[in-house]
Structure 1
């Protein structure tokens, strides 16, 4: 009797082989689809019935989050009024393993009636869907991974992967970058990972700042008042040094008789305010420090980011 682990490995092996086959069989039709979709002034409408519908919804969501406006339309709802969601400015991707899913008929007819680009994803090149489509993305003729060879498994995996390929190719063609991605993912872990230092840093009156001539009594008051355990030493707005708790310990003897410039560590480690917060956190961890000052290209002090800021927004 086959064990559950053996079954799992067989399914994964079967599906990975199908994906490799699909990759090798992909033709220039894929490029034609990208060229067509990149020119669409409206949205990419993705639809399918049953398991194909679930995959269609995921494809639409992936496209929408990577710079290609997209929307899932349920074929059943389309037949009862939601066809109005599909306009002449849109393009349709319809998914059906057999290519004969009757629930897609009204969407097919709508695209033909209003000259809306139609892309078919199916395994059957001779099907109604394939014959009606302007572009055909043919799935490989690979068996389903289930024991009876009927449950949508391998076919839906191939369709999902093909949808990812479309989304990523469109993303790269558009030049969609990290900053664009952050715009569409402001919340959750992804949003936190894509925050820049500028988005969370302390600036203006919140910054602990003294000049080289400031006596250490006033410097200690500034450090205590701002609460970061560090103070910036600036001349003309440029960061020339920093004083940390460690600097204070190393200069305890006669500390209050000295000035900030005589205690500060020169040439401090700094960052750009436009780097990712997660990268700033990496620098802090690597150097075992709890705060970093951000400066512009001319060395002008712009802000301060503390390790607690990373914790607060969920990066650390």
Structure 2
């Protein structure tokens, strides 16, 4: 019975590790050369593209087919998260109704290394009639897309990293880097800050660090452990146990902070043979002028304060030094600030 040949070649000998690593290094070398070549060509066209995006009354609509489409999606995501409203539209879907997503206030950024993508070329007359500005990112300055665009970004590369010169490799890397260059240039031109970035990423680690305030995580009202200065150590222990924050504030009748008593202070009190925890007033053993934090501070500031001073809890006070809240390291862990 005749054997059916495999659809893909199978090497007779497994390649050596050194050969695989050499192939990898060659790809890096080829793509580094490609990026250097594209960077050397950044000129007035790049600046013009940035100006079109900055002046747009609408959004930047990115589009591309195949591998260029994947890069266009990533560019749209990067632009959107760095202060330039943007989204991706599949050119094939655009020709079947999604073109309605693009308004006359939008700028279109179209990617095609050949500059001859049929799906994109089909859209150009409609976009031009609508009044959209077009930025084309191609590898051929004389391509149809380049000629029809308002601004052309040349991402041509000396060679693809693929040894067959078939799979988009260096060219997609160059397009991706060009997209990053646009996003960063626009970010800097807009004065975009880390706080602005956090507002676009509220669920991310940076968002939590820059947006979460003490008031979002602290215990308030009856959940704040507090005793008066005449309370005994035993009474303070009961308060610490009930509120489960490992500490209690010592306050006067108006809730002004007088001191702090913690689990650690309790252990030291128990080690003192001359001290009766049932009769000793908390004012005699409390820590005066403890570390505190303002209610308007960020939660990450509390984490930094705890780490710096090797403490596990903080009292939150207002401008008049009244205790308005309390938190410990576990509250910050639950909020994923640390």
Q: Same fold (TM over 0.5)?
A: yes
More off after superposition, 298-307 vs 146-155: 298-307
| Cα root mean square deviation, aligned | 2.5
Q: 2:302 aligns with which of 274, 280, 295?
A: 280
Give aligned pairs, total.
Answer: 316
Structure 1 position 314, deviation (Å): 3.5
Instruction: Tell me, in whole angstroms, the C-alpha distance in 1 between the residues paired with 2:298 and 2:279.
Output: 40
After superposition, the C-alpha distances for 1:169-227 in whole angstroms (9 at most, x for unaligned) are 32333333333333322335555455524232222322212343444343222211110
Deviation larger for 110-119 or 43-52? 110-119
Which has the higher mean CA deviation after the structures are superposed, 237-246 or 8-17?
Answer: 237-246
Secondary structure in structure 2 of the residue aligned to 1:256: coil
Deviates more, 1:145-154 or 1:42-51: 145-154
CA contact (8 A) 2:294 2:316 kept: yes
- Alignment check: 8 A CA contact 1:197 1:305 kept: no
Q: Say if 1:139 and 1:228 are closer, same or farther in 2 by CA, change over 3 A.
A: same
Q: Which residue of 165, 171, 187 maps to 1:155?
A: 171
| Residue of structure 2 in register with 1:63 after alignment | 79
From 184, 196, 200, the equivalent of 1:168 is: 184
The CA distance in 2 between the partners of 1:85 and 1:11, in whole Å, is 39
Given that 2:110 and 2:137 are in contact with CA atoms closer than 8 Å, whether structure 1 keeps it comes out as: yes
Corresponding position: 1:262 with 2:284: yes
Kindly indicate whether residue 265 of structure 2 is the aligned counterpart of residue 247 of structure 1.
Answer: yes
**Which protein shows a greater Rg?**
2
Q: How many angstroms does 1:300 deviate by?
A: 4.4
Among 225, 229, 245, the residue aligned to 1:208: 225
Residues 93-118 of structure 1, C-alpha deviations (whole Å, 9 max, x = no match)? 01111211111013322221111111
Distance in 1 (CA, whole Å) between partners of 2:150 and 2:170 is: 25
Give 1:244 deviation, angstroms.
Answer: 1.0
Q: What is the CA distance between 1:54 and its match in structure 2?
A: 0.5
SS in 2 for 1:180: helix
Distance in 2 of aligned mates of 1:240 and 1:140: 70
Matched, 1:227 2:268: no
1:100 matched residue in structure 2? 116
Report the Cα distance in structure 1 between the residues aligned to 2:143 and 2:121, rounded to whole angstroms. Answer: 12
Q: Which residue of 2 aligns with 1:303?
A: 325
- 1:61·1:71 contact (CA, 8 Å) conserved in 2? yes
Query: Matched residues in 2 for 1:89 and 1:255: separation?
Result: 74
Corresponding residue of 1:291:
313
Q: Which moved more, 1:97-106 or 1:303-312?
A: 303-312
In 1: Cα distance, 2:182 partner to 2:294 partner = 35
Q: Distance in 1 between matches of 2:324 and 2:300?
A: 18
- Any idea what SS the aligned residue of 1:212 has? coil
Residues 1:298 and 1:18: Cα distance change in structure 2 (over 3 Å): farther
Structure 1's 3 and 184: CA in aligned 2 closer, same or farther, altered over 3 A? same
Rounded Cα–Cα distance in structure 2 between residues aligned with 1:271 and 1:118: 52
Provide, for residues 2-36 of structure 1, a one-character-per-residue CA deviation record: whole Å limited to 9, x for no partner.
71111112112222332233333322332332222
The aligned residue for residue 8 of structure 1 is: 24
The CA distance in 2 between the partners of 1:16 and 1:299, in whole Å, is: 59
Deviates more, 1:108-117 or 1:208-217: 208-217
- State whether residues 295 and 302 of structure 1, in contact with CA within 8 Å, keep that contact through their aligned partners in structure 2: yes
When residues 290 and 98 of structure 1 are mapped into structure 2, their CA distance, relative to the original with a 3 A threshold, is same
Consecutive unaligned residues of structure 2, counting only runs of 5 or more, are: 1-14
User: What SS does the aligned partner of 1:271 have?
Assistant: strand
Q: Which is further off, 129-138 or 24-33?
A: 24-33
